[in-house]
Amino acid sequence: MKLIDIRDKTAIVGVGNTPFRALYRKKDPRRNSYTLGLEAFESALEDSGLCKEDIDGVIINRIPSYTKMCVMAGIKNPRLTNIFEAAGRMSGIALQYAAMAVYTGMANVVACIYGNDGWSAGATYGGESQMIDSYNFPFGMTSPGASLALMWQRHMHEYGTSEDDLGVLAISQRKFASMNPNAVMRTPLTMDQYMSARYICYPLRIYDYCLINDGGVCLIVTTAQRAKECKKRPVYIMGTSQAANHTPYYHSPDYGWDAMKLVADQVYSMAGVGPKDIDCAQIYDNFLPTVMLSLEGYGFCPKGESGRWIRGGRIEPGGELPVNTSGGHCSESYMQGWALHAEAVRQLRGECGDRQVNDCEIVQYICSSPICSSHILRR
Amino acid sequence: MTQYTKPLPIPNDFDRPYWTALKKHELRMQKCLDCGEIWFPPNPVCPKCLSHNHQWIKLSGKGKVWSWVLFHQLYFPSFSEETPYNVIAVKLDEGPLMTSNMVECNNEDIYCDMLVEVFFDDVTELITLPKFRPAGRPKEV
């Protein structure tokens, strides 16, 4: 069956989030994903100008129970309710399901609510807290970061990219973060600091890893028609797509590029634009090599060229393709793609203050992981 | 002999032949008798054609380092004495990719595409782990 064209038929009409910087400063075991999600929901509702009674769809992520969340938010009979597993790849997917729901009329207005108390709860993403993996743990292999380290090591070998290419990216994202009052890490970074930082899993250093934090984000999605009645300028979903890369390990010898190509082909074709039309990109940076592999996988630059391509200010403030304009997961806060979505919306509305990209009309979100997803959003 | 404290595999119903073979110092993986696919990690059916007919064939134990890393972060306390330690992803000559450690080689001497051969490490009385060493060394006695 042919893909139904939903270009510009759905929109994000509200975004909200908790503070990130303040929450990072002090852990608090009483904090939980429900209260963080609720705070973000209230803020997104206010931002949209809608009232609670307008919300008839709820999708939650990383919050354990939709019933409890909906009880707390006083949403008793939503026509659509669902939960996505607590993985960062699900932020883009939640938005897709919300868009499909409002387009088909399964719901009129969907609130996508995310809450994460991982910082206060002491979340780790590797080691013995995870379920035993007989083919990896006995060798000390654990964590998705180590898989990205394997892929980056191989990429350096195959293409001649280098460790300091990642430094260029880290420094650029930090420049944006220095202009973001809500970013956790705002002090500018130098290449010397980057290169002398400790390794977590060689060849990756601490600056290549996202900042685990507490926080909440909420997006409110409705139809393009309904969006016109909302308080702020709608942000339309021009195109969206996903394709999985299900392999035995988090790393794969083709870097996940076959899945990225499937996503890129569909998202660009649905939106009717290409990489050259993108004014800024929000690219999932659980670990910085993910951004490099994505730039190559989506055709922003040829395979193996990302290291050279990002140099000379191209991805920095004022550059040709500003990337991760909030500072991203490695400098703003690890909100598993959700805060990258909020940043995309705010850039398109022109709400980003010092870090605002001039004449920002089209933004792309990209997440490369075991499920790859991408959207192209416009104002 | 001191107590072995590192994580150990937990053999299950369909991968027990893998661990049993390792105990005998053989690297065996499943080969589909219908389509010829060889796969790893172990799986109850052929992931290519879903056939239930497979044989645990003996592999050459030879391959190449697809990639490698050094763990500096201590995720497993039992690895503390050898941190930073290496982890390699080996592309076996027969096709599958597997995770392992390089032995008999300094960490700084590991490189991508390095030729390696399996080395059977009897870590406990019940478990032997398939590790790798640079190819072409004298055979173990």
Residues A270 and A149 in one domain: yes
Is the CB of residue B72 less than 8 Å away from at least one CB of chain A?
yes
Chain A residues in contact with B15 by the CB 8 A cut-off are: 134
* Structural domain boundaries, residue A278: 141-210+237-379
Q: Hey, what's the torsion of the CAs at A367, A294, A166, A127, to 10 degrees?
A: 50
Same domain, A15 and A61: yes
Domain match, A63 and A103 both: yes
User: Is the previous residue joined to B47 through a cis bond, with omega within 30 degrees of 0?
Assistant: no
Is A284 one of the annotated active-site residues of the chain? Answer: yes
Q: Is A147 exposed, middle or buried (0-12, 13-18, 19+ CB in 10 A)?
A: buried
Across the interface, whether the CB atoms of B69 and A157 are under 8 A apart is answered no
Do the domain assignments include residue A63?
A: yes
Cα Rg, chain B, nearest whole Å: 16
For residue A56, being part of any structural domain is answered with: yes
Give pLDDT, residue A124: 83
Q: How far apart are CA A115 and CA A215, in angstroms?
A: 6
d(CA A26, CA A371): 33
Assess contact for A364 and A376: CB atoms under 8 A: yes
Chain A's closest residue to B103, CA to CA, is A139
**β-pair type (A57-61, A80-84):** parallel
What pLDDT is attached to residue A1? 65
Instruction: Provide the β-strand partners of residue A15.
Output: A219
Q: What is the pLDDT of residue B105?
A: 97
Q: Identify whether A135 is part of a domain.
A: no
Instruction: Provide the pLDDT for residue B137.
Output: 65
Active-site residue, from A103, A114, A209, A334: A334
Let me know whether A118 and A63 are in one domain: yes
Q: Which own/partner pairs from B8-13 qualify as long-range (CB within 8 Å, at least 24 positions apart)?
A: B8/A138, B8/B123, B8/B124, B8/B127, B9/A132, B9/A134, B9/A135, B9/A137, B9/A138, B9/B127, B9/B129, B10/A132, B10/A134, B11/A134, B12/A134
pLDDT at A241: 97
Decide if A126 touches B, using CB distance below 8 A: yes
Q: Quote the DSSP letter at residue A350.
A: T
Phi-psi region of A62 (alpha: psi -120 to 50; beta: other; left: phi over 0): left
Identify which of A124, A135, A146 has the shortest CB distance to residue B71: A146
The side-by-side arrangement of strands in the sheet containing B54-58 is B38-39, B28-32, B54-58
ipTM value, please give it: 0.96
Most B CBs within 10 A among A141, A143, A161, A205, hence the mutation to make, goes to: A141
- Strands A204-205 and B54-58, by their bridges, are unpaired
Domain with A216 in it: what CATH number?
3.40.47.10
Mutate to test the interface with B, among A133, A135, A199, A246 (most CBs of B within 10 A): A135
The shortest CB-CB distance from A201 to any of B6, B71, B129 is to B71
A253 reaches B (C-beta below 8 A): yes
| Residue A132, in any domain of the structure | no
Asked if B66 contacts B91 with a C-beta cutoff of 8 angstroms, the reply is yes
Residue spans of chain A under pLDDT 70: 1
In this structure, are A273 and A340 located in the same domain? yes
Distance from CA of A228 to the nearest CA of B (A): 49
Cis peptide before B41 (omega within 30 of 0): yes
Helix (H) or strand (E) holding B128: strand B128-134
A296 & A369 share domain = yes
- Last residue within a domain, chosen from A182, A197, A232: A232
Q: How many alpha carbons lie under 13 Å from residue A353 in its C-beta half-sphere?
A: 10
A224 & A324 share domain:
no
Please report the DSSP string for B83-127 in residue order: -SEEEEEEEETTS-EEEE-B-SS-GGG--TT-EEEEEEEE-SSS-
Residues A263 and A277 in one domain: yes
- Classify residue A273 by its DSSP letter: -
Q: Which of A339, A268, A318 is nearest to A297 (CA)?
A: A268
Describe the crossing of helices A163-178 and A288-297 by its angle, rounded to 10 degrees. Answer: 100
With respect to residue A104, please indicate whether it lies within any of the assigned structural domains.
yes
Helix or strand (DSSP H, E) at A73: helix A66-73
Is B112 touching A (CB cutoff 8 A)? yes
Residues B88-123: b if buried by 16+ CB within 10 A, e if exposed: bbbbbebebbbbbbbeebeeeebebebebbbbbeee
A251 and A359 share a domain? yes
Strand segments (E) across chain A: 10-17, 57-61, 80-84, 109-116, 199-202, 204-205, 215-223, 235-244, 280-283, 362-367, 371-378
Task: Determine the Cα–Cα distance for residues A165 and A252; give it in Å rounded to an integer.
Answer: 21
Which residues sit opposite B62 in a β-bridge? B117
B135 three-class SS: coil
**CA nearest B4 in A: which residue?**
A138
Same domain, A353 and A363: yes
The encoded tokens of residue A280 equal 């800024």
Confidence (pLDDT) at A2 = 74
- Is A298 in the same domain as A158? yes
pLDDT at residue B122, as a whole number:
98
Per-residue pLDDT tens digits of chain B, which is 141 residues long: 579 999 999 999 999 999 999 999 999 999 999 999 999 999 999 999 999 999 999 999 999 999 999 999 999 999 999 999 999 999 999 999 999 999 999 999 999 999 999 999 999 999 999 999 999 866 554
**Domain assignment of residue A217, yes or no:** yes
CA angle B40, B44, B48 (to 5 degrees): 60
> How many CB atoms within 10 Å of residue A248?
17
Query: Which residues of chain B make contact with A153, given a CB cutoff of 8 A?
Result: 67-69, 112
Report the domain count for chain A. 2
Which of A137, A143, A158 shows the shortest C-beta gap to B7? A137
* A306/A221 same-domain check: no
**DSSP conformation letters of A155-194:** HHHHH---HHHHHHHHHHHHHHHHT-TT-S--S---HHHH
Query: Does residue A187 fall inside a structural domain?
Result: yes
Contacts of A149 in chain B (CB under 8 A): 69
pLDDT of residue B73: 97
Interchain contact A248–B (C-beta under 8 A): yes
Q: Does residue A134 belong to any structural domain of this protein?
A: no
**Domain stops at, among A201, A232, A263:** A232
CA A77 to chain centre: 29
Q: Which chain A residue lies closest to B10 (C-alpha atoms)?
A: A134
Rounded Cα gap, residues A190 and A173, in angstroms: 12
